[in-house]
Copies of this chain bind each other. A is one copy, B any other.
Amino acid sequence: MALEHAILVSLTERAGSGYELARRFDRSIGYFWPATHQQIYRVLRRMDEAGWVRHTEIAQDGRPDKKVYRIAAAGKAELTRWLAEPEDPAVLRDGLGVKLRGASVGSPDVVLREVQRHRAEHATRLEVYRGIQKRDFPKPSTLHGRELHQYLVLRGGIRAEESFVAWCDEVIDALRKDNR
């Protein structure tokens, strides 16, 4: 259960409201640990009760009030504890693999089109990641500490998407040949 920890990591980078955190997850951490605003609100409240974070209510005009959360000492301790704790490696869980395995039940053509769709979506994500790399990390060899770590996480995303796209191409090619 790492959403708590993903939020804590994000809060060490800077404080923020539930809404802001949800946006941040959409744009960066969420590429590796997706979460909706609902989950984030619930976990923030839980962590507030546990004393891992503190919040300050901020009145805004023209906009609803917001609660800005910042990490507390107990939260930082928990984060440090979790970082040292071994975790099970992530497992692959992809419905496309299941569909491919079942392709001969229906018509393989239908599955082929689905693979093409997935290829396109993964290629789009890949381009987004590459854009971030160009903009935010133009000179990787000069990076250190936190920035280096952020860069390396992005590299993981890029590699995963590259590998996915390459797999789709292999599948598309093989299915086409088999169809003739």
**Residue of chain B at shortest CB distance from A95:** B2
Bound complex: CA of A155 vs CA of B173, how far in Å?
13
* Other contacts beyond A31-B92, A108-B149, A155-B167: 14, CB < 8 A: A8-B102, A9-B105, A32-B98, A33-B94, A33-B98, A34-B91, A76-B105, A79-B105, A89-B96, A97-B156, A100-B149, A145-B178, A159-B164, A163-B163
Copies of this chain assembled into the complex: 2
Interface string of A115-130 (1 = CB under 8 A from B): 0011001100000000
Interface string of A76-118 (1 = CB under 8 A from B): 1001101110110111111111111111111010110010011
Q: Which of B99, B111, B170 contacts A155 (CB 8 A)?
A: B170
The residues of B that contact A96 with a CB separation of less than 8 Å are 87, 89-90
Report if A29 contacts B (CB, 8 A): yes
Report if A74 contacts B (CB, 8 A): no
Bound complex: CA of A97 vs CA of B150, how far in Å?
9
**Residue of chain B at shortest CB distance from A124:** B89
Report if A148 contacts B (CB, 8 A): yes
Complex contact B166–A97 (CB within 8 A): no
Report if A15 contacts B (CB, 8 A): no
The residues of B that contact A149 with a CB separation of less than 8 Å are 100-104, 108
